[in-house]
């Protein structure tokens, strides 16, 4: 059994193991103790025949989970504590892989923000219930990172070019669009979540416990612009995609191109390569690929500059190196996907 902390709560309710991410002031961002504690608890519940299903929720109503504790990683890196930096990434990726291979029903009850590591905790489970406030994004290219936590596997498997669009823009997705493209599997108002938990605890069929869910939420720009997204994000390179967007006269295309141009050029090129390789990788291979990339990115400039600009100083003006797509060394991008020196974790 995992050690309980104030940041993450583990409870037994009949047949249900319930996880509550409990850092509401930090939008339930995952600390290293939370990550390690949840991994150990999933191991314990998988081995316990009395627990037949698990549910995960976030405290506070504003977020399911906004991701990993990026500020902690930033502080460790700036202090030169790279052993701590890589210990965090390794533990987070191992937890995401644990969720993906968990053998019992795993239900994510998603209210509010679900980004980064929060998307990893939910998207790789089989049941993802989106409330009316569901707000998904993988905005890592905006902080000099890349869409990780298994997104190399998951995003390319979304319909059409939706995954590439999400990877390169970091655009936010509401519940209607999430249900339409498969990011969410069910929709239900947040007010029904306590009843869902009670029904899951009774031990009956999981699908029955989820209820009817009410009227389907309206779709948004992801559905409305699917044809344009598929046509433009089919481009072989980020520059090709931008050229296709620039050639379109719609406001959506112009806004999307402008958004992409604010992102780290290196991160954009990494993300495009992830979307190209992802369909040919199994889940453990995809996560291992991400770990290889992150070990290189953490030794670079853009992540620390992006976090400074967006999270620490909040001036919103990151100075990327290189500044433009034309200056990106594509050989260096490809080398980031190669094996690291020494033994590698397999994330299986």
Q: Which domains does the chain carry?
A: 8-335 (3.90.226.10)
Per-residue tokens: 62: 């504003």
Catalytic residues: 68, 117, 140, 148
Query: Other CB atoms closer than 10 Å to residue 317's CB: what's the count?
Result: 10
CA atoms within 13 A on the CB side of 29: 12
One digit per residue, the tens of pLDDT, for the chain of length 348 reads: 555 579 999 999 999 999 999 999 999 999 999 999 999 999 999 999 999 999 999 999 999 999 999 999 999 999 999 999 999 999 999 999 999 999 999 999 999 999 999 999 999 999 999 999 999 999 999 999 999 999 999 999 999 999 999 999 999 999 999 999 999 999 999 999 999 999 999 999 999 999 877 778 999 999 999 999 999 999 999 999 999 999 999 999 999 999 999 999 999 999 999 999 999 999 999 999 999 999 999 999 999 999 999 999 999 999 999 999 999 999 999 999 999 888 888 898
Nearest to 286 by CA among 163, 129, 184: 163
- Per DSSP, the three-state class of 18 is strand
104 close to 82: Cβ distance less than 8 angstroms: no
DSSP string, 209-269: HT----SPPPP-HHHHTHHHHHHHTT-SSHHHHHHHHHH--SHHHHHHHHHHTTS-HHHHH
Q: In what order do the strands lie in the sheet with 16-21?
A: 8-13, 16-21, 53-58, 106-110, 127-130, 186-187
DSSP 187: E
Nearest to 188 by CA among 133, 231, 226: 133
């Amino acid at each position: 059994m995992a050690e309980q902390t104030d940041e993450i709560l583990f409870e037994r309710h009949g047949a249900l193991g319930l996880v509550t991410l409990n850092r509401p002031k930090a939008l339930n961002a995952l600390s290293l103790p939370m990550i390690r504690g949840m991994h150990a608890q999933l191991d314990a519940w998988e081995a316990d025949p009395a627990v037949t299903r698990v549910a995960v929720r976030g405290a506070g109503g504003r977020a399911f989970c906004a991701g990993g504790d990026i500020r902690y990683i930033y502080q460790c890196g700036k202090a030169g504590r790279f052993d701590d930096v890589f210990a965090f990434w390794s533990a987070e990726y191992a937890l995401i892989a644990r969720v993906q291979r968990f053998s019992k029903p795993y239900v994510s009850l998603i209210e509010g923000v679900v980004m980064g590591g929060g998307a990893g905790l939910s998207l790789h489970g089989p049941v993802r219930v989106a409330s009316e406030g569901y707000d998904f994004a993988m905005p890592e290219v905006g902080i000099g990172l890349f869409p990780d936590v298994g997104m190399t596997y998951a995003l390319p498997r979304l319909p059409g070019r939706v995954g590439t669009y999400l990877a390169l823009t970091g655009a936010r997705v509401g519940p209607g669009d999430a249900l339409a493209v498969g990011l969410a599997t069910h929709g239900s108002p947040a007010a029904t979540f306590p009843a869902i938990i009670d029904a899951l605890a009774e031990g009956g069929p999981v699908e029955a416990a989820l209820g009817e869910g009410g009227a389907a939420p309206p779709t948004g720009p992801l559905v409305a612009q699917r044809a344009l997204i598929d046509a433009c994000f089919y481009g072989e390179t980020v520059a090709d995609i931008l050229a296709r967007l620039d050639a379109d006269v719609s406001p959506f295309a112009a806004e999307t191109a402008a958004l992409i141009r604010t992102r780290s050029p290196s991160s954009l090129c990494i993300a495009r390569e992830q979307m190209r390789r992802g369909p040919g990788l199994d889940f453990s291979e995809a996560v291992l690929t991400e770990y290889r990339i992150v070990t290189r990115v953490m030794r670079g400039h853009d992540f620390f500059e992006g976090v400074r600009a967006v999270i620490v100083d909040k001036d919103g003006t990151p100075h990327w190196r290189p500044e433009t797509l034309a200056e990106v060394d594509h050989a260096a991008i490809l080398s980031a996907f190669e094996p690291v020196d020494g033994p590698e974790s397999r994330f299986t």
